[in-house]
Amino acid sequence: MSSLPIPASAAPAPPALLSASLLRRFDVPGPRYTSYPTADRFVEAFGAEEHAQALRQRRDAAGPRALPLSIYVHIPFCESLCYYCACNKIVTRHHARAAEYLQDLLTELRLQVDLLGRGAPVSQLHLGGGTPTFFSDEELGMLMAALREAFDFLPGAECAIEVDPRTVDEARLARLAALGFNRLSLGVQDFDAQVQKAVHRIQPAAQVFALTEAARRLGFSSINADLIYGLPRQSRASFERTLAQVVALRPDRIALYAYAHLPERFKPQRRIVAEELPDAATKIDMLARAIERLGEAGYAYIGMDHFALPEDPLAVARRQGRLHRNFQGYSTQPDCDIVALGVSAIGRVGASYSQNAKTLDDYRDRLRQGRLPVVRGLALGRDDVVRRSAIMAVMCQGRIDFETMGAANLIDFPRYFAAELQALQPLAAQGLVRLDAHELEVTPAGWYVVRAIAMVFDRYLQADRLRTRFSKII
């Protein structure tokens, strides 16, 4: 496959072609920009006390019009090891460990709420992992009860949970719905039996289809399916079959991730046979075919690796210019503070980011000393805030109006970003952005390499050029 069509819904411009050769040119490492500055820039000089001060400042500044919070809870446990996984996880079949960890979460919640104040409004909750359904129904019920007691969940709040299809059945889904969860994210990755065997994750397609049908009967408002291309034993033909099954499954949203093989950083990946990985050209072709196939099936391209049905709130937000981005990816929620709970969890309060201890022992020790488990973070400077605005505008709206953004940040945008606008000229010549004296606009073709456009505004990245720690753009 040498080219792929850009969906006409992406922009009013006529359909364009994005060549596979152009995609290959951008097959380079780069940040995903779930934050700016990115998490690799966090420092240990920002710790528990600095985070506590940020919580107090929000509490003192909050009034009756306080902006709603987003809450993220990290549950690290998994019953079995998936070889591709790069998440912070603990593989165990001893479910007794969950009870102790739940008490840790409740302790951290109390410490944060004591500083933040009880009753802050919440519009979004996400339980990630690991496998959140490692918790029993009773444990999940205790967690949800504690969260509802600590915060004011607004009507229509998005409550999402990541689900390993191998760990739940329809009865379990019903209990999740009764607890207030209204969105599911199913880890599919690939339907091919040989690929599943190679990554140590066996789950028959029939199981995923049955769960999806059950979730719809139970009234879940959105179902997301995660896919990965570039896994061992994947081929163009096998991935084509997986795409056909996913289209038949018809989840509301699809997250299509590229597998990043970094065995020197992630020990589980050492079990993957490198010779079984598809080469770069095959990966590009799989991506191109996925974009083409999903477009034909009616999915709107949201950006980067996200797709959604046209009536899904994410697609509506994309069309209306209301898209946002946080540590969970693209979101319909306004740019808001994030209270993060659990080992390794990353949060944001005001102009600061914080991250909890990455090991369970360190996380638990700090809590038992009555301390917040924050071990690093960052207080943003003025330049960070300005550049974050520009990067998120590129990533979410695909457009920067120089006058509007300049006024919002008290800068002369063309002068402040003169070097960056000059650096964008080659991308403009390739048809990926449109530039004039008043605005920057990402073209339909440019949306597929939007990370490369955003990277131009990243001062830290331009300063050191050490990008190998990031996944590849394509």
Q: Which residues are annotated as a binding site for S-adenosyl-L-methionine?
A: 72, 84-86, 129-131, 162, 189, 201, 226, 260, 346
Per-residue pLDDT, 287: 86
Pair 404, 397: CB distance under 8 Å: no
Amino acid symbol at 173? L
Q: What is the mean pLDDT of residues 80-103?
A: 91
Q: 3-state SS of 413-471?
A: HHHHCHHHHHHCHHHHHCCCEEECCCEEEECCCHHHHHHHHHHCCCHHHHHHCCCCCCC
List b or e across 212-228, with b for residues whose CB sees 16 or more CB atoms inside 10 angstroms: bebbeebebbbbbbbbb
Domain range summary for the chain, segments of one domain joined by +: 3-31+382-464, 41-340
Backbone angles phi, psi at 312, to 5 degrees: -65, 140
Tell me the average pLDDT of the chain: 90
Q: What's domain 41-340's superfamily in CATH?
A: tm_1862 like domain (3.80.30.20)
Confidence of residue 29 (pLDDT cuts 50, 70, 90): confident
Instruction: Out of 163-172, 201-210, 461-470, pick the least confident.
Output: 461-470
**What percent of the chain has a predicted confidence (pLDDT) above 70?**
92
Q: Which residues fall within 8 angstroms of residue 49, CB to CB, at 6 or more apart?
A: none
Q: Which residues are annotated as a binding site for [4Fe-4S] cluster?
A: 78, 82, 85
Q: 3-state SS of the chain?
A: CCEEECCHHHCCCCCCEEEHHHHHHCCCECCCCCCCCCHHHCECCCCHHHHHHHHHHHHHHCCCCCCCEEEEEEECEECCCCCCCCCCCEECCCCHHHHHHHHHHHHHHHHHHHHHCCCEEEEEEEEEECCHHHCCHHHHHHHHHHHHHHEEEEEEEEEEEEECHHHCCHHHHHHHHHCCCCEEEEEEECCCHHHHHHCCCCCCHHHHHHHHHHHHHCCCCEEEEEEEECCCCCCHHHHHHHHHHHHHHCCCEEEEEECCCCCCCCHHHHHCCHHHCCCHHHHHHHHHHHHHHHHHCCCEEEECCEEECCCCHHHHHHHHCCCEEECCEEECCCCCCEEEECCCCEEECCCEEEEECCCHHHHHHHHHCCCCCEEEEEECCHHHHHHHHHHHHHHHHCEEEHHHHHHHHCCCHHHHCHHHHHHCHHHHHCCCEEECCCEEEECCCHHHHHHHHHHCCCHHHHHHCCCCCCCECC
Does domain 3-31+382-464 sit in CATH 1.10.357.10?
no
Environment class of 327 (CB within 10 Å of its CB; exposed 0-12, middle 13-18, buried 19+): buried
Q: How is residue 368 written in tokens?
A: 């038992």
Would the pTM count as exceeding 0.85?
yes
Q: Which residues are annotated as a binding site?
A: 72, 78, 82, 84-86, 129-131, 162, 189, 201, 226, 260, 346
Residue carrying structure tokens 């997301």:
224
Per-residue pLDDT, 114: 96
Q: pLDDT tens, 305-350?
A: 899 999 999 999 988 888 888 888 888 887 789 999 999 999 999 9
Per-residue pLDDT, 336: 87
Confidence of residue 374 (pLDDT cuts 50, 70, 90): very high
**What percent of the chain has a predicted confidence (pLDDT) above 90?**
72
